[in-house]
């Protein structure tokens, strides 16, 4: 009986990243969400405040560390990027809704959101996501598939959006987003991810623990992200770089 008591005590005291699926709820009245399915998921799991508002540097870094094992340096960088979306001068907090401000970090050619030209980019768009999915052949997504899906979304956005454009930041974040879903939801060394796990997060805005996903180990830092982005860039059709430069602004 004593050993059972010890186990129960350890389970209760365990950090929230050990069982995030026990603490999930969709946004309610007054809550806000943004165009990033991963950050929306962290709010739905209460890693970030569930209302989606007023995240300071400590809240941001703790959430990214607890949920995704992002290290101190990368967490600080991501906070510094996120806070630029707050239009308040000298802001020290940001909210998920701020991320929808077009051409700050949010950009055209999303994997799962419509371009801002057509309306709010916050809501998941099944038609847009279906195009992305069409390049994920088989049960495992690799860098070639991810790169082709990204290129396809840029081409489609350019062809359909009369105001298509990508800032340099947008180009970088687009590449980083493709790297992130492979790196955080899959296997970091080979840079592959189970398709069902990636689809689950995008479609449900919920960490896919029920499918066997676990918090990445060891910690994820800048070198990991930079290497993943470089590998995806090297898989990218060179012609798309010309198209991106033509649509670049800011």
187 found inside a domain? yes
Domain, as residue range, for 212: 103-246
156 found inside a domain? yes
pLDDT band at 237 (very low <50, low <70, confident <90, very high): confident
Instruction: Read off the pTM.
Output: 0.89
Please, is 13 exposed, middle or buried when counting C-beta atoms within 10 Å of its C-beta (0-12, 13-18, 19+)? Answer: exposed
Do residues 23 and 16 touch, judged by C-beta distance below 8 A?
Answer: yes
Confidence check: pLDDT of 145 > 50: yes
185 found inside a domain? yes
pLDDT in tens, 24-35: 999 999 999 999
94 found inside a domain? no
75 found inside a domain? no
Taken in order 66, 69, 70, 72, the sign of the CA dihedral is: positive
230 found inside a domain? yes
2 found inside a domain? no
Phi-psi category of residue 213: left, alpha or beta, with phi > 0 → left and psi -120 to 50 → alpha: beta
Over the range 235-249, which residues count as b (16 or more CB within 10 Å of their CB) and which as e?
A: bbeeebeebbeebee
- The CATH number of residue 178's host domain is 1.10.489.10
137 found inside a domain? yes
Average pLDDT, the chain: 91
pLDDT of residue 167: 85
pLDDT of residue 239: 75
pLDDT in tens, 177-209: 999 999 999 999 999 999 999 999 999 999 999
Per the structure, the count of domains in the chain is: 1
Degrees, nearest 5: CA angle 29-33-34: 155
pLDDT in tens, 88-143: 999 999 999 999 999 999 999 999 999 999 999 999 999 999 999 999 999 999 99
């Amino acid at each position: 009986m004593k050993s059972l008591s010890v186990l129960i005590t350890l389970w209760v005291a365990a950090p929230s990243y050990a069982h995030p699926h026990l603490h999930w709820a969709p946004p309610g009245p007054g809550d806000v969400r943004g165009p990033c399915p991963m950050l929306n998921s962290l709010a739905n799991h209460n890693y970030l405040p569930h209302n989606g508002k007023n995240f300071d540097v400590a809240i941001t870094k703790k959430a990214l560390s607890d949920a995704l094992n992002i290290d101190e340096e990368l967490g600080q960088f991501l906070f510094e990027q996120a806070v630029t979306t707050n239009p308040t001068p000298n802001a020290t907090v940001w909210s998920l809704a701020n991320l929808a401000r077009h051409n700050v970090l949010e950009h055209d050619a999303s994997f799962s959101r419509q371009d801002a030209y057509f309306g709010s980019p916050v809501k998941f768009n099944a038609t847009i996501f279906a195009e992305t999915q069409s390049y994920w052949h088989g049960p495992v997504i690799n860098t070639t598939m991810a790169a082709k899906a990204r290129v396809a979304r840029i081409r489609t956005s350019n062809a359909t959006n009369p105001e298509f454009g990508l800032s340099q930041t947008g180009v970088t974040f687009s590449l980083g987003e493709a790297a992130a879903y492979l790196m955080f939801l899959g296997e970091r060394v080979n840079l592959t991810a189970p398709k069902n796990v990636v689809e689950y997060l995008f479609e449900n805005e919920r960490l896919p623990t029920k499918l066997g996903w676990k918090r990445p180990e060891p910690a994820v830092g800048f070198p990991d992200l930079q290497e993943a982005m470089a590998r995806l860039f090297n898989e990218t059709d060179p012609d798309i770089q010309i198209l991106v430069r033509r649509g670049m602004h800011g």
